[in-house]
Structures are given as C-alpha cells and as structure tokens.
C-alpha cells in the first residue's frame, strides 16, 4: 500500500514531465541567434493588418529543440552554391505559434484551405507545432533568395514549382533538406516556408495570447 501511495504522489510529476514537450516557450531563449521577423506583428502580411501584440516568437518546446539542431547545422555552412558565408547560415522565422482567435480572423479574410487552415480543425501553428522559415546569411542578416516572399499564395510557392533559377532551387532545397533530415520536420507542399513536426500534431489547440 505504501508503494501505491508513493506512486500516486509521484504521478502528477510524471504526467507534467511528459507534457512539457507541448509547453510553449520563447524561441529566442533557446536559440539566441535566430532572426525573428514576425510578419503578423506588422501590417506587412496578406491580411494587411497587425494581428499580434508581441515580437516574441513562441513554439512548443519539442519543436524548439528540433529547430536548435537545424540552426546548429546551418551555422557550419561556410560555403553554399558558390557563395561564402564567413559566419555560416541561419534561420529567420516569419511565424511560429499563432493564437486560435487569429486563425478565425485569417479564415474570415481568406477562406482558402490551401493557404489558411480552417479554424474549426485548427492549424498546426495553433499547437505551436509549425514554423514559417527562410534562410539568412548570419554575417549580414540578409535573406537568401527564395522562390517567393512570405505568404505568396501562388503556384510559385509550391515545392513542385521548378521554373526557377538554379541558385533559388538550391536555396529552397537546402532549407528543405536540413529541416527534414536534421530537424525531423515535414514539408507542406503548397508553401516552401512552412514546416511542422509530426510528433507535435497531437498537441492541444491553444488560444493563449502572448503579450
């Protein structure tokens, strides 16, 4: 009986330890040199309005751990596609965790399930399980050339679009290979910038509003 009582006392600790992976954390606290450019905290986005109230990017802890592996690898890239990068490459985040209330607003503006997830079922962004990223030169912070800018809702944003200069294809492929092979993320075929972590697909839909 005493063993059972002890086990019952420990149970909440075990449960909370298991749920820590879905806890939202500040990305910068774990990856200080990652570049943040949260487009929904500006009016420079498809909604043409500021939808966030913070410049902090949050993601589920599990997702941040995987992104850190990606950033650690990118920092080592001193040469890519004929260009030298003395401080290596890095990630820039355009969007991470997104409150579900914002998802409803986006759906009102653009109810197109190819580019905006239906808020009824939720987006992996609402779980802190998806991230929108591009590559930057760590020395200058300049973005590497990619097929489109963020939230370009055209066929040019698709992973299967190949009518592009070789250097742009190489940049898109580098981002894909490192996010998938090192980070364990999966692509979204319609958007070259969107990556999600399958292990986080069951994390809860959240409406926490970071300040």
Catalytic residues: 191
**Least Cβ distance, residue 193 to Zn ion (angstroms):** 7
Residue 175: which residues within 8 A CB-CB, separation 6 or more? 133, 134, 135, 146, 192
Nearer to Zn ion (CB atom), residue 139 or residue 155: 155
Nearer to Zn ion (CB atom), residue 30 or residue 46: 46
**Least Cβ distance, residue 191 to Zn ion (angstroms):** 6
Does residue 98 belong to the site contacting Zn ion (CB under 5 A)? no
Does residue 37 belong to the site contacting Zn ion (CB under 5 A)? no
Q: Kindly write out the interface string for residues 122-141 of this chain, putting x where it contacts Zn ion by CB under 5 A and - elsewhere.
A: ----------x---------
Q: How far is CA 129 from the centre of its chain?
A: 7
**Least Cβ distance, residue 144 to Zn ion (angstroms):** 19
Map residue 197 onto helix, strand or coil.
coil
Between β-strands 83-84 and 191-196, what pairing exists: parallel, antiparallel or unpaired? unpaired
| Spatial CA neighbour of 177 closest among 135, 148, 138 | 135
């Amino acid at each position: 009986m005493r063993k059972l009582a002890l086990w019952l006392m420990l149970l909440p600790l075990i449960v909370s330890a298991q749920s820590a992976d879905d806890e939202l954390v500040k990305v910068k606290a774990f990856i200080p040199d990652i570049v943040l450019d949260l487009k929904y905290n500006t009016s420079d986005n498809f909604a043409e309005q500021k939808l966030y109230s913070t410049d902090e990017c949050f993601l589920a802890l599990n997702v941040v751990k995987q992104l850190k592996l990606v950033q650690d690898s990118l920092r080592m890239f001193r040469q890519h596609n004929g260009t030298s990068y003395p401080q290596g490459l890095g990630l820039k985040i355009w969007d991470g965790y997104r409150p579900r209330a914002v998802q409803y607003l986006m759906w009102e503006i653009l109810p197109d399930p190819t580019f905006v997830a239906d808020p009824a079922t939720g987006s992996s962004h609402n779980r802190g399980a998806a991230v929108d990223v591009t590559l930057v030169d760590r020395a200058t912070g300049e973005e590497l050339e990619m097929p489109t800018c963020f939230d370009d809702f055209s066929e040019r944003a698709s992973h299967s679009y190949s009518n592009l200069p070789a250097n742009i294809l190489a940049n898109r492929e580098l981002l894909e290979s490192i996010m998938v092979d090192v980070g364990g993320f999966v692509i979204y075929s319609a958007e070259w910038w969107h990556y999600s972590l399958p292990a986080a697909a069951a994390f809860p839909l959240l409406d926490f509003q970071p300040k």
